[in-house]
Amino acid sequence: MLTANLNQRISAIWRIESPKLIAGLARMLRDVGQAEELAQDALVTALETWPRDGVPDNPGAWLMTTAKRRAIDQLRRYKLIERKHEQIGYEIEMAQDEPADARRDPDDDIGDDLLRLIFTACHPVLPLDARVALTLRLLGGLTTVEIARAYLVPEATIAQRIVRAKRTLAKAQVPFEIPRAEERVARLASVLEVIYLIFNEGYTATAGEDWLRPALCEDALRLGRVLVGLMPNEPEVHGLTALMELQASRARARVDAHGNPVLLGDQNRAHWDRLLIRRGLVGIERALKSGNTSGPYLLQAMIAACHARAPSTEQTDWLLIAQLYARLAEVAPSPVVDLNRAVAVAMADGPARGLELVDALVHESALEKYHLLPSVRGDLLRKLGRAEEARAEFERAATLAQNARERALLLKRAAECV
């Protein structure tokens, strides 16, 4: 029987080792679904063996060896023709002993299993929700139950998304490889989008009872750090990871002792994580040295850096933030970006000017059900002394908010408008 400590240790090992295990098997078998099944089989064997024999010194190698043996057994059971059997079986037996260059596709200038897995899980042939679920399963090491809990949907729904995603990849014969140079930028955009979506859901939960879901932020950050190590010359990879580091640095200050949201202006900045801030600032420097300096993730990271460097809300360089949002609106136009710019302008030039910009967005169809539009408008009206109008806006925002904690905060702000 597993003790609580051993169970936690095996879970931690699996979370770390499973992406590498699945990636290595997928390279050998050219089938992500089959690779995951074999990895899960190896985990079951570990759960049966390690409580009796102890956790091996190199658990990752133990899991890989076990999975490779099962792969060979599976190939034999399928009674593949002798030539194919020998070819694949020999590849599996020898893969770990070959030099890296010998295993590399001559047309693939990266040749990294984890990177292949990231690009495969985030392939545009899959719908976005399937990409998120498959990425969390294969690269985050999360169970179906954990993913379902994180996104507040039934476990069966997540299970179906994952199964369909693997079937879609197999049916479309998506190769387990890094896209060639001419396709890589477009595919990288999909990878970054999925990682950032995972992070944002953890940073500000769209629904449910919790304001933060730290585990999702941690998974996204880990994926970003892996990607930085694998693609060190891509500015937007550095930009996204730096952005997540800087945003995550505020996590402890974003909720009070009861889990209620604390707005940026009210946060105790002494509780911001200085290590994460330093990592984020270093990431920005690396991105700026890498080439293109106008990527949307890098620009957002630079905005986050303005907050991270400022000792208080009042001493924040709001003019620079407004300018950065203007640049962001040029490269990634969005009403949400315009709304954020309006907030920065209000802080730099006064609430009246900010309200002018917000009022210009009131009829934007994309913001029709976006609760932060009336929330921002209510805040600016309150600062202008228009309490009744402000209360109505906060109440309207509360009706649109899906997160229980956020709804409660908005109703509290409405009640304070007197």
Strand, coil or helix: what is 72?
helix
Residue linked to tokens 């930085």: 228
Identify the sign of the CA torsion 173, 174, 178, 182.
positive
CB-based burial of residue 278 (10 Å sphere; 0-12 exposed, 13-18 middle, 19+ buried)?
Answer: middle
Task: Tell which residue, 97, 22, 31, has the closest CA to residue 67.
Answer: 22
Whether residue 14 contacts residue 138, with contact meaning beta carbons closer than 8 Å, is answered with no
pLDDT of amino acid 110: 32
Cβ-Cβ contacts under 8 Å for 194 (sequence gap 6 or more): 121, 122, 128, 131, 132, 135
User: What are the beta bridge partners of residue 97?
Assistant: none
Crossing angle for the helix pair 318-331 and 296-309, to the nearest 10 degrees: 170
pLDDT of amino acid 108: 40
pLDDT of amino acid 86: 52
Whether residue 245 contacts residue 276, with contact meaning beta carbons closer than 8 Å, is answered with yes
Considering the entire predicted model, what is its pTM? Answer: 0.74
User: What are the beta bridge partners of residue 208?
Assistant: 403
Written as one letter, the residue type at 381 is L
Interval 104-130: pLDDT, tens = 443 343 336 877 888 888 888 999 889
DSSP label at 96? G
pLDDT of amino acid 104: 41
How wide is the angle at C-alpha 33 spanned by C-alphas 225 and 17, nearest 5°? 40
pLDDT of amino acid 95: 46
pLDDT of amino acid 14: 83
Cα distances from 175 to residues 62, 116, 119, 250, 304, in angstroms, run: 27, 9, 10, 40, 37
pLDDT of amino acid 208: 60
Q: Enumerate residue ranges in the chain where pLDDT < 50.
A: 81-83, 85, 92, 95-111
